[in-house]
Amino acid sequence: MRDTATIDSANIARDPGAMPAEDEIDLIELARTIWRGKLVIALAMIAAGAVAYAYLTFIAVPFYTAQAVVALENRQETVVSLDSVMSGLSGDQATINTEVEVLRSRNLVGQLVDEMALLEDPEFNPFLTSDQPTPSAQIAQDAAIDAVLDAIRIANVRSSYVYTITAVTTSAEKSQKMADTLAGLYIRDQLTVKFEATAQASSWLTERVTTLKADLEQAESEVQAFSASTTLISPEALEAINRQIKDSRDRLATLGQTRETLAARVAALEAALASGDRAQMLAAAEEPALERLADAPQATFAAQYRAVMERAQVDLTRAEAQVISLGASIQRQEADFDRQSRDLVALEQLQREALATRTIYEYFLTRLKETSVQEGIQQADARILSYAALPSAPTQPRKVRAMALALTLGLIVGSGIVFLREMLHSGFRNGEQLEQATGITVMGQVPLIPARKRKGVIEYLVEMPTSAAAEAIRNLRTSLLLSNIDNPPKVILSTSSVPGEGKTTTAIALAQNFTGLGKSVLLIEGDIRRKVFSEYFDLDESRGLLAVLAGEAQFEDVVQPLALIGADVLIGERSTTNAADVFSSDRFKQFMVEMRARYDIVIIDTPPVLLVPDARIIAHEVDAVLFTVKWDHTTRAQVREAVRQFATVGRPITGLVLGQIDPKGMKRYGYGNSYGAYANYGSKYYNS
């Protein structure tokens, strides 16, 4: 029965590049990462704290904060019931915001600079301590105003008419004086504005009253002169004249009718006279006296008729004279009426103008007197609610807060460094990481063997059979044999991704361990390009594997028994022949069949899989593939590519070996001495 930790080769074969997904955040692993980097984090916090302490103690300039309070007066005292030239503030939000800007205005702050002589203070005049040429007075004044604006804060207390004026400087007295002075200047500025407005109003009103007085005198003079030069009647008399004109016109109409009647009678009399008919003449005359003479002689009748005609003619002449006289009289009356009407209108216009001028003059004169009275009773729209208290201690820098922030920053930076190091690190530090990244069982975790040279590695294992390294090799051997309990592997391939990962050490150590079980073991140097066995053993390197495969020598003549490990060694040989072709040959396959029959265990040390294809070719002739990964060194990409290459040739890796584990490094990373169940065994060196 196979070990439960054995990999699922079929899954890897179906998806050669498959690796277990890591979509979830492992909080425990995050905690471990932080714990592993606790030293870095602690150093970062200590460094940040030390820098902050040094800055706060030797560099930081203490600042003192003072605060004055000003309140708007929305209720003005009324000394006299007079309208002010400038009304009080309304107290709405717009007015409140405006007053905040007034307090921060450059004009008011400029007065503060002059009042406190801040141009002579290096804190607010940077040109006093700089090597730059002395600037103009305006430039220095602007720089000082900017510095003061940075040092003060104006704020309105929510839902109130109260403002706080906060000053922050390097001197307690200066902060107090600055806040109080600005508050006082604000009150004085309000009074100044009102006094100036009232004075300007008084000056303008005085000038205007003088002008209006002259205009009034001129208007009244014109009324008097016009009245003196014109015969004027009252509007009532003018109305009587108008009625007389109407009566005269009625009389004229009556006289006209009378004249027409008389003219018609005269014409009838003349016509009758001309006819000579006495009856017609009597009808025309309509005169009783003439009717009594109807039978009188002709001469008498004619004389009497002519007398009637003469009287009628006289009446007509008189009526015509009356019509002419009355018409002339009406014309004179109408002309006089028109003239007097125009004069009356002109007089009334002059009188109205004089009255309007007098009304305006009297209003402005009254307003001038009111304004003159108000000049002495002006009130500010705000008052100082409380003066600034002298600060007893600096408010900046806040040492406790600054140290806390520094330590927090150190914690963040240290944690960032730790996490960044973890993110950038692509190696493996324990078997669990390696298994999670590859999905392949980690059969062994071999600690770093304390040997300066490679020859000392085997000597160490032989001389210290109970060391942690020896226990790790025994654990690897057991896991390998149990990987297929029904048919334990006889031919084992040892390889890695790149050189220097410990695959050769793993192969030799396994050979030495198998011989301890009484097994006959053959150790083959399959890496014929680098030939590293000579660095572990003193061997005859004249002939080896290639000579046997080429038929130039018998196996018995070139195999070399090593008493140190109790195994036979077959070295490789350098050759111009392509190594891949050699291992792909039928002769090599036959050779492997013969070795299976001759030895209990055959271990082949092959070249790194990412450099040459030799290991993948040889893998078809073996029972198990051991892949060594150097602890905290081999990258995930290298391991992933090696696993993929083995899977693509249909020979997945049997098990992984995490080699050259540094116990001190394990402790540093927070894993303790956890590189296997054998961790509690071994030398003093590894348990230290």
Q: What is the pLDDT of residues 470-484, one digit of tens each?
A: 999 999 999 999 988
Q: What does the pLDDT average to over 517-525?
A: 94
The DSSP secondary structure of 84-104, one letter per residue, reads -SSPPP--SHHHHHHHHHHHT
H/E stretch holding 179 reads helix 172-229
Q: What is the DSSP letter of 571?
A: -
Edge-to-edge strands, sheet with 567-570: 442-447, 655-661, 624-630, 491-496, 601-605, 521-525, 567-570, 560-562
Structure tokens at 552: 């130039």
User: Can you tell me the mean pLDDT for 524-535?
Assistant: 86
What band does 667 get if pLDDT is binned at 50, 70 and 90? confident
- The CATH number of the domain covering residues in 64-193+380-386: 3.30.1890
CA nearest to 13, candidates 447, 472, 440: 440
Mean pLDDT lowest for which of 47-51, 455-459, 469-473, 507-511? 455-459
Q: What is the mean pLDDT of residues 662-679?
A: 63
CA distance 613 to 607: 8
Give the model confidence (pLDDT) of 179-232 as tens digits.
999 999 998 888 888 777 777 888 888 888 888 888 888 888 888 887 777 766
CATH of domain 9-16+427-677: 3.40.50.300
Whether 459 contacts 451, CB under 8 Å? yes
DSSP string for residues in 187-222: HHHHHHHHHHHHHHHHHHHHHHHHHHHHHHHHHHHH
User: Which pTM was predicted?
Assistant: 0.53
Instruction: Give the Cα separation of 580 and 573 in Å (integer).
Output: 14
* Most confident among 438-442, 527-531, 576-580 (mean pLDDT): 438-442
Q: What is the dihedral of CA 313, 316, 320, 323, to 10 degrees?
A: 160
Note the pLDDT tens digit of each residue in 59-98: 888 999 999 999 987 655 544 445 555 445 556 788 888 8
pLDDT value at residue 233: 60
pLDDT of residue 26: 72
pLDDT at 681 over 60: no
Per-residue model confidence as pLDDT tens digits over 603-636: 999 999 999 999 999 999 999 999 999 999 899 9
Measured distance CA(340)–CA(488) in Å, rounded: 150
What pLDDT score was predicted for residue 443?
A: 94
Mean pLDDT (the chain) is 83
Mean pLDDT of 362-386: 77
Instruction: Give the range with max mean pLDDT: 94-103, 119-128, 240-249, 439-448.
Output: 439-448
What the block records as the tokens of 181 is 């002075």
Contact 361, 213 (CB under 8 A): yes
- The answer to whether residue 1 scores a pLDDT higher than 70 is no
Q: Where are the alpha helices (DSSP H) in 233-382?
A: 235-275, 278-285, 288-292, 298-374
Tens of pLDDT, residue by residue over 4-35, are 333 344 344 334 444 444 456 778 878 878 88
- CA–CA distance, 617 with 493 (Å, rounded to integer): 11
364 vs 578: CA distance, rounded Å: 122
Q: What does the pLDDT average to over 292-313?
A: 76
Q: What's the average model confidence in pLDDT over 478-494?
A: 92
Any residues with CB less than 8 A from the CB of 333 and at least 6 apart, and which? Answer: 241, 244, 245, 248
Q: Give the gyration radius of the chain's Cα atoms.
A: 67
Count CB-CB contacts under 10 A for residue 523: 32
In the block, tokens 């066995």 appear at 533
HSE-CB at 316 with a 13 A cutoff on CA atoms is 15
